[in-house]
Amino acid sequence: MSHFHPDIHWLTEYAAGNLSMSQALCISVHLSFCPKCRKEVEQLNSLGGMMLSRPQAMNDATEQPQSELEISDSLRSHMLDLISNETLPNVPAELAVETSANDEPSNTAVELPDCLDKLIPNGTEKLDWKNLGSAVSVARLAAGDTEREVALHKIKAGGRVSNHDHKGREVTVVLTGSFSDQEGQYLPGDFLIKEPGQAHRPIASEDAECICLSVLDAPVKFTGPIARLINPFLRIRTAAS
Amino acid sequence: MIKNKDTGENDDTNLSLGANAAGVNMRSAPSLSKQKQTRMHSTYTDKPSIDEWSPLLKIIARDRDRKAFARLFDHFAPKIKSYGMMLKSQHTSAQMAEELVQDVMIKVWLKAHCFDSEKASAGTWIFTIARNCRTDFIRKANRINTSLTADDLWPMAEEEEPFTSLHQRRIEKNIHSAVAQLPAEQADVLKRIYIEGKSHSEVSAATGLPLGTVKSRVRLAVSKLRTLL
Ligand SMILES: [Zn+2]
């Protein structure tokens, strides 16, 4: 059971489809651990359905000319033609494949949330891990975000990450194991955000390695005296452990 | 480039915007006038009690009824277009938005048999399809290199436990009247988020309201809804 949840704004943006895919991925991972937030999102989905269902109020605030939202006659008749077309399959092949594609059990040692299956098809062990010192390694994920760095971070059992700050906001979701910093201890499913200026010093628990999904708006900067960037994308350097 | 919602980055082509939730056109007139008998006030204060779209969607699934589909289309298409107006590319956003309308409505037609009114209202079902289509649309239009699709990010609630489904039905039943009780300013912010597809920062940019005000309206609205559901 998670103790650190995305706030209502994150959940609303998620339900409304207004997050980038990588941010939505973080929420989705959290939801796979958190029935409470799942329920919340269901309500927020229903709210979207309600907003979509209700008739337009004539007194709605409108900055956009009505005409721009009108559906062209050609689109309408095109749609009605399309659905009359006998050759239109009842279930498009693409949809049928999508549902069966996920049934393949992945051979991960660690059970990962389903939403990570495509990015990590062969388990976390097979990812291209790069050491960032003796205690931490990183594996970047192709989540298709051109403005954010999406990666798994792995901290060895008992490993310490050097004190670091971020130039951009960093969202982290714990996948396995646990780590702590001055704010608390984070367990699988926990969702935390570090804003620029919030330096922290994560330490993995002694009993198990900790793997987290992280999405970073811009490269991390280090605050410690020995801190240096190994390269712009390898952001974390461990203290001697 | 994927659009950066967080920075509220302005889009010169369509931040003029937004607004209108539904673009009612003449073709919607029959269904609207029918509703008006019971809905005398503005939408924010009236009390739509019955979900008229779910039965219609069931008819579409069962009878492949084109007339029923046309009615559904006339109501939802302008709203989906509004939701798609935030899309960016070298095309004009209106064209992209109409492509989105087409993607969504075809899916509605093809997948109507999957709709289960025990789990969600037609509006919620269509909303989630529109949301997922829009995400995939942006991904494809920007040639974003990833194996992720929207369906990975918003798994369908099908595997949920029975309790959740029961809970969900209660929500769906009550949410109409709950939303009707929201102050207009809060409902307006929700409309911009859900129908215009704007992030909190984009709502702030479009309305001139401080981001904190937008956030507090969302927070107030959601906690009010929570007490009403
Ligand atoms: Zn949660």
A213-to-A8, A22, A62, A154, A175 alpha-carbon distances in Å: 21, 10, 40, 9, 7
- Nearest Cα residue in chain B from A169: B6
- Say how far residue A75 (Cα) sits from the centre of its chain: 35
d(CA B125, CA B105): 12
Average pLDDT, chain B: 76
Average the pLDDT over each of A222-231, B44-53, B189-198, B215-224 and give the range with the smallest value: A222-231
Are A238 and A222 within 8 A, CB to CB? no
Domain A8-103 coded CATH 3.30.980: no
Given this model, what pLDDT does residue B171 score?
74
Which residues lie closer than 8 Å to A228 by C-beta, 6 or more apart?
Answer: A222, A237
Given this model, what pLDDT does residue A84 score?
86
Given this model, what pLDDT does residue A113 score?
92
Q: What is the pLDDT of residues B83-135, one digit of tens each?
A: 998 776 555 688 889 999 999 999 999 999 999 888 888 999 999 999 999 99
d(CA B51, CA B49): 7
Given this model, what pLDDT does residue B2 score?
41
Are A123 and A106 within 8 A, CB to CB? yes
d(CA B112, CA B114): 5
pLDDT of B215 strictly over 80: yes
CATH 1.10.10 residue ranges of chain A are 8-103
- Tell me the residues of chain B between 111 and 170 that have a Cβ less than 8 Å away from chain A: 111, 113, 120-128, 130-132, 134-135, 139, 144-149, 151-155, 157, 160, 164, 167-168
Q: Dihedral angle at the C-alpha atoms of A176, A181, A184, A189, nearest 10 degrees?
A: -20
Give the position of tokens 């082509």.
B13
Q: What is the pLDDT of residues A64-91, one digit of tens each?
A: 667 778 888 999 999 998 888 766 655 5
Confidence band, pLDDT 50/70/90 cuts, at residue A233: very low
The more confidently predicted of residues B158 and B112 is: B112
- Say how far residue A89 (Cα) sits from the centre of its chain: 34
Nearest one of A61, A41, A43, A12 to B43, comparing CA atoms = A61
Confidence band, pLDDT 50/70/90 cuts, at residue B4: very low
pLDDT of B51 strictly over 50: yes
**What φ, ψ does residue B167 adopt, rounded to 5°?**
-55, -45
Confidence band, pLDDT 50/70/90 cuts, at residue A162: confident
Whether residue A42 and residue B157 make contact (CB cut-off 8 A), yes or no, is yes
Given this model, what pLDDT does residue A167 score?
79
d(CA B168, CA B163): 8
> Whole-model pTM?
0.80
d(CA A60, CA A64): 11
CATH 2.60.120.10 residue ranges of chain A are 114-234
d(CA B190, CA A95): 31
The more confidently predicted of residues A183 and A222 is: A183
pLDDT of A141 strictly over 50: yes
Q: Positive or negative, the Cα torsion across A165, A168, A172, A177?
A: negative
Domains of chain B: 53-145 (1.10.1740.10), 182-229 (1.10.10.10)
B71 touches chain A (CB under 8 A): no
Domain A114-234 coded CATH 3.40.50.1580: no
Residues of A in contact with B102 (CB under 8 A): 75, 78-79, 82
- Nearest Cα residue in chain B from A16: B194
Which residues lie closer than 8 Å to B229 by C-beta, 6 or more apart?
Answer: A43, B170, B171, B174, B175, B178
Annotate A152-214 with DSSP letters as a single string: EEEE-TT-BBPPEEESS-EEEEEEES-EEETTEEE-TT-EEEE-TT--B--EE-TTS-EEEEE
Given this model, what pLDDT does residue A60 score?
58
- Say how far residue A197 (Cα) sits from the centre of its chain: 22
pLDDT of A59 strictly over 70: no
Residues of B in contact with A51 (CB under 8 A): 21, 127, 179, 190-191, 194-195
Nearest one of B35, B40, B48 to B178, comparing CA atoms = B48
pLDDT of B220 strictly over 80: yes
DSSP state of A238: B
- Range with top average pLDDT, A38-42, A219-223, A232-236: A38-42
Given this model, what pLDDT does residue B156 score?
66
Host H or E run for residue A150: strand A149-155
Whether residue A119 and residue B17 make contact (CB cut-off 8 A), yes or no, is no
B173 touches chain A (CB under 8 A): no
Confidence band, pLDDT 50/70/90 cuts, at residue B36: very low
Distance from CA of A72 to the nearest CA of B (A): 9
How many residues would you count in chain B? Answer: 229
Say how many C-beta atoms besides its own lie within 10 A of residue B67's C-beta.
12
The upper half-sphere exposure of residue A139, i.e. CA atoms within 13 Å in the direction of its Cβ, equals 15
Angle at B9 between CA A216 and CA B190, to 5 degrees: 95
Confidence band, pLDDT 50/70/90 cuts, at residue B217: very high
pLDDT of B19 strictly over 90: no
Which residues lie closer than 8 Å to B29 by C-beta, 6 or more apart?
Answer: none
d(CA A108, CA A123): 4
Confidence band, pLDDT 50/70/90 cuts, at residue B16: very low
Q: What percent of chain A has pLDDT over 90?
A: 53
The more confidently predicted of residues A173 and B160 is: A173
The more confidently predicted of residues A56 and A63 is: A56
Nearest one of B59, B92, B71 to B25, comparing CA atoms = B71
Whether residue A119 and residue B148 make contact (CB cut-off 8 A), yes or no, is yes
Mean local confidence (pLDDT), B167-176: 74
Given this model, what pLDDT does residue A133 score?
83
pLDDT of A219 strictly over 90: no
The more confidently predicted of residues A31 and A221 is: A31
Distance from CA of A180 to the nearest CA of B (A): 27
Q: Quickly list H helices, B112-180.
A: 122-141, 150-153, 162-180
DSSP state of B117: T
Confidence band, pLDDT 50/70/90 cuts, at residue A55: confident
Residue A193 is encoded by which pair of tokens? 């955000």
